Amino acid sequence: MSQRISRLARLAAALAVAGAATAAQAVTEIQWWHAQTGGNNERINALAKQFNESQSDYKVNAVYKGSYPEAMAAAIAAYRAGNAPHILQVFEVGTATMMAAKGAIKPAYEVMSEAGEKFDPKAYVPAVAGYYMNSKGQMLSFPFNSSTTVFWYNKDAFEKAGLDPNRAPQTWPEVVSAMAKLKASGHACPFTTGWQTWTQLESFSAWHNVPFLTKENGFAGSDAQLVFNGPIQVRHIENMQDWLKKGYFVYGGRKNEPEAKFYSGECAMMTTSSAAYATIKQQAKFKFAESTLPYYADVPGAPQNTIIGGASLWIMAGKNKDEYKGVAKFLTFLSQPEVQAQFSQATGYLPITMAAYELTKKSGFYEKNPGTDVAVQQMIVKTTNNSRGIRAGNMPQIRDAMDEELEAVWAGKKTAKQGLDDAVKRGNEIIERFNKANKG
């Protein structure tokens, strides 16, 4: 009998110790939903691991949730079911939707100041910070991976066509003469473009310092109207239609599909994201170089700066104080120049803070990988109201409308003016629906 009691007592004691141990180890888990694939996915996991090992109070779980729109749709469904992640990676065109969802998100500046963590918008490259700022200059989300639009060309093909492989065409007229020479040398596809709406209209407008939409490109109010059917944009799209007819420009799809045409050697020049670097470097069996986006030299104010792509991290509402503290600690970890410089060098995304840029420069990375600093050079200027970024609700849908109208122009069914007018008209209807839905 007494033996049994003592055994029970021992068991109870053991349970009590076990309980105390779990209480001491209670780490706060933080869910981070993202949309990075391949090598970038590995980088994300490495970041989470590095943070988890650096301290013992919080544990960040990085979860891949599909493409950008899929991750966003998944988080929306989870939020509606009361199950949202703490941190969500949202692509740049989802920014306006997130900003309008006031009850669903907690602004990044608020999370950081409540936790007493430092978060200075001025530390960031201006065109990056501006994109995610409200009208009071407060950061609503945390800039993470940013890319921009750049120009790529095949040096071997340039040489074969009798062009100087060490000098990239700077302006569109120079691109035209390069296209003609490439065509004459037997190249079937002198030029193609990835992300046509981003490179040829959104970033194109900022680069030429002309508005994309009214109200400072939507930054000064959500009732903005699209105006990308101005004379400069129409002229450019008209030119592209002409190049397509002449066989100078080959259309390859709406998103990054055309990039395959470049690294397979089929197309000699391409405008697309700077984040294509890793893939091109891996796949291309020829010498290539990266350069600034071409512009029309007769347009006053050009070149200004290009617009960012990529994504930022949003913090979802409805979590407890301790969890927010962990989120803030993690974001501070991500803000370190060393972490950012490393991430940028491995992925081809921009170094998003000036400190990370300086660090990368000092490490000699840009000398070893010439051209990789083009993207940064295009961005580190003071932005204007036309170049800070684009803020329009339902931007993914607007892009679809733009893509469809551009395809009608390329197919010769519409003139450039007609196509852009129709895209503007359809886009404005989409903005109107967005404002209607976000009135309350």
Partner 1 sequence: MEKRARFESRWLPYALIAPQLVITIVFFFLPASQALYQSLLVQDAFGTSTQFVWFDNFSDLFRNSEYLSSFKVTAIFSLLVAVLGLSVSLVLAALADHVVRGAGVYKTLLIWPYAVAPAIAAVLWLFLFNPTLGVVAHWLKGLGIKWDPLLDGTDALTMVVIAAVWKQISYNFLFFLAGLQSIPKSLIEAAAIDGAGPVKRFVTIVFPLLSPTTFFLLVVNIVYAFIDTFGIIDAATSGGPGQATQILVYKVYADGFKGLDLGSSYAQSVVLMVILITLTVVQFRYVERKVQY
Taking the complex as a whole, the smallest distance from the CB of residue 438 to partner 1 amounts, in Å, to: 5
Q: What residues pair up with 147 in beta bridges, in sequence order?
A: 309
Q: Can you spell out the DSSP letters for 147-207?
A: EEEEEEEEHHHHHHTT--TTS---BHHHHHHHHHHHHHTT-SEEEEESSHHIIIIIHHHHH
User: Is residue 438 a contact point for partner 1 (CB under 8 A)?
Assistant: yes
Region from 11-19, 287-295, 334-342, 408-416 binding partner 1, contact rule CB under 8 A? 408-416
Please name the residues in contact with 348: beta carbons below 8 A apart, sequence gap of 6 or more.
147, 274, 275, 276, 277, 278, 372
Distance CA 274, CA 285 (A): 19
User: Is residue 286 a contact point for partner 1 (CB under 8 A)?
Assistant: no
Region from 123-131, 139-147, 318-326, 425-433 binding partner 1, contact rule CB under 8 A? 425-433
The alpha carbon dihedral of 134, 137, 143, 149 has a sign of positive
Region from 66-74, 340-348, 362-370, 382-390 binding partner 1, contact rule CB under 8 A? 66-74
User: Is residue 411 a contact point for partner 1 (CB under 8 A)?
Assistant: yes
Region from 2-10, 51-59, 209-217, 395-403 binding partner 1, contact rule CB under 8 A? 395-403
User: Is residue 63 a contact point for partner 1 (CB under 8 A)?
Assistant: no
Nearer to partner 1, 319 or 329 (CB): 319
Nearer to partner 1, 261 or 329 (CB): 261
Local structure of residue 386 (DSSP, 8 states): T
Alpha helices in 284-438 (DSSP H): 321-335, 337-347, 354-362, 365-368, 374-379, 395-410, 416-437
**Vertex 129: Cα angle to 128 and 132 (nearest 5):** 100
Amino acid residing at 337: P
Binding residues for partner 1, how many (CB under 8 A)?
Answer: 42
Amino acid residing at 419: G
User: Is residue 76 a contact point for partner 1 (CB under 8 A)?
Assistant: yes
Nearer to partner 1, 76 or 380 (CB): 76
330 touches 30 (CB < 8 A):
yes
User: Is residue 407 a contact point for partner 1 (CB under 8 A)?
Assistant: yes
For 284-326, what is the HEC assignment? Answer: CCCCEEEECCCECCCCCCCCCCCCEEEEEEEEECCCCHHHHHH
H or E element in which residue 33 lies = strand 28-34
Taking the complex as a whole, the smallest distance from the CB of residue 16 to partner 1 amounts, in Å, to: 44
Region from 69-77, 132-140, 150-158, 355-363 binding partner 1, contact rule CB under 8 A? 69-77
75 touches 85 (CB < 8 A):
yes
Nearer to partner 1, 121 or 253 (CB): 253
Nearer to partner 1, 48 or 72 (CB): 72
Scan for tokens 């290009």, then name that residue: 306
Window 242-261: residues binding partner 1 (CB under 8 A): 251-254, 261
* Contact pick of 110, 159, 216, 404 for partner 1 (by CB under 8 A): 404
User: Is residue 199 a contact point for partner 1 (CB under 8 A)?
Assistant: no
User: Is residue 216 a contact point for partner 1 (CB under 8 A)?
Assistant: no
Window 83-142: residues binding partner 1 (CB under 8 A): 97, 100-104
Exposure string of 125-145, with b = 16+ CB inside 10 Å and e = fewer, is bbbbbbbbbeeeeebbbbbbb
Nearer to partner 1, 97 or 360 (CB): 97
Q: If phi over 0 gives left and psi between -120 and 50 gives alpha, with beta otherwise, what is residue 88?
A: beta
* Contact pick of 408, 415, 417, 418 for partner 1 (by CB under 8 A): 408
Taking the complex as a whole, the smallest distance from the CB of residue 294 to partner 1 amounts, in Å, to: 23
Binding track over 264-283 against partner 1, x by CB under 8 A:
--x-----------------
φ, ψ at 307 (rounded to 5°): -100, 145
User: Is residue 157 a contact point for partner 1 (CB under 8 A)?
Assistant: no
Nearer to partner 1, 105 or 376 (CB): 105
φ, ψ at 390 (rounded to 5°): -130, 130
Which residues would be at the binding site for partner 1 (CB under 8 A)?
Answer: 69-70, 72-73, 76, 79-80, 97, 100-104, 251-254, 261, 266, 394, 396-397, 400-401, 403-405, 407-408, 410-411, 413, 426, 429-430, 433-434, 436-440
